Amino acid sequence: SAAEKGGYKHFMLKEIYEQPRAIRDTLMGKHDDGEILLSDIHLSDGDLAAVERIQLVACGTSWHAAMIGKYYIEKYAAIPVEVDIASEYRYRPKIINPTTLVVPVSQSGETADTLAALKDAKQLGAKVICICNVVDSSIARESHGVLYTNAGPEIGVASTKAFTTQLAALYLLALFLGQKCGHLKAKDIKRKFKAIEALPEQMEQVLSDEPRYTEFARNFHNHQDFLFLGRSYNFPIALEGALKLKEISYIHAEGYAAGEMKHGPIALIDKEMPVVVVATASEVYEKTISNIEEVMARNGLVIAITNPDNQLSGAVENFVVPEVDEELSPLVNAIPMQFLAYHIADYKGCDVDQPRNLAKSVTVE
């Protein structure tokens, strides 16, 4: 009903706007004076310090969050991480021992493939800590420890606030592991926690830009294909941007690592091809710019997600977001992706909250 949507046209839009609040709730009570507090992890400091390998398993949007989680854990805890799609993980050889930590990531906690992957890993002796949004769900109950995302119920089939809170939770887990294995000091933790605490306000700034996306949808809803590009922490954001657009607007879209474009997708670029590029501040900014130049040289329509001082003159659109730490930029850059997909789908009159053929939670294999 309209009341449940809190005055928004769709649940998805309401949930996009709930993100700053959801992030605050995910962070609440998780930090004290340079220490990350995760009380539901239930593994001893000895077990945590012994972790030698981590495997993240997930499906759909949660898999994209897991891909970014790999970068966080490898950076902050220096533990090697593999990321698997749960339906692939299930049927490949598993090299697991008690120093292997498996981390299923799931909004619902009920996805059949993710649950089965968890059970297999546990059976083989892995320690399991899940990242989950639904309290007491099957995946939460089967795991040794849980890190809840506290996004609140997510109704729209296309995941939004669950995704950004998963990123926040993975960031916390990385800091936590970094501390337990002696890689990060209290003063590092303090600084990094402060940076993520500042995000909700920065996300508000992106939300206030919504009218620009309505305008964009009017001009771009007729395109048949979109390409999304990003590098490093924002490569999975490109994948997520493409997934969101496919899911709710039924427009074909492909996400790619910008540096890999020359190995295929560049063949698709012509004057009809919208290319959404994440070009916010990062260590690979210059590399991304050269990829954008390759698109422009072929008359592709560049739609850039940029910071205020780095707008691209050759782009047909610059969606400006505040500059934040590179590691945290995916949480900010996810919002333009959500708005792009939402407004194109809404302009086309699609059923945004209940897209055809999709389910909120896939509980069969």
Residues marked as catalytic: 360
C-beta of 181 vs 362, nearer to ligand G6P: 362
Query: Pattern 48-87, binding to ligand G6P, x per CB under 6 A?
Result: -----------xxxx-------------------------
Q: Report 138-177 residues binding ligand G6P (CB under 6 A).
A: 157-159
Sign of torsion, CA 124 128 131 134? positive
Residue whose CB is nearest to ligand G6P in the complex, by number: 60
Q: Count the alpha carbons within 13 Å of 125 in the hemisphere toward its beta carbon.
A: 9
Q: Report 324-353 residues binding ligand G6P (CB under 6 A).
A: none
Q: 3-state DSSP call for residue 263?
A: helix
Number of residues that bind ligand G6P (CB under 6 A): 16
The rounded radius of gyration (Å) of the Cα atoms in the chain is 20
User: What residues form DSSP beta bridges with 130?
Assistant: 146
Rounded Cα–Cα distance for residues 173 and 218 (Å): 41
Query: Measured from the CB of residue 151, what is the shortest distance to ligand G6P in angstroms?
Result: 11
Question: How far, rounded to the nearest angstrom, does the alpha carbon of residue 14 sit from its chain's CA centroid?
Answer: 18
136, with CB counted inside 10 A (0-12, 13-18, 19+), is exposed
Query: Measured from the CB of residue 359, what is the shortest distance to ligand G6P in angstroms?
Result: 6
Query: Measured from the CB of residue 105, what is the shortest distance to ligand G6P in angstroms?
Result: 7
Transcribe 191-202 into DSSP letters.
HHHHHHHTHHHH
Contact 280, 305 (CB under 8 A): yes
Among 73-81, 182-190, 314-322, 357-365, which window interacts with ligand G6P (CB under 6 A)? 357-365
Query: Measured from the CB of residue 171, what is the shortest distance to ligand G6P in angstroms?
Result: 17
Q: How many CB atoms lie within 10 A of CB 195?
A: 14
C-beta of 139 vs 292, nearer to ligand G6P: 139
Among 45-53, 101-109, 198-206, 333-341, which window interacts with ligand G6P (CB under 6 A)? 101-109
Query: Measured from the CB of residue 345, what is the shortest distance to ligand G6P in angstroms?
Result: 14
C-beta of 111 vs 202, nearer to ligand G6P: 111
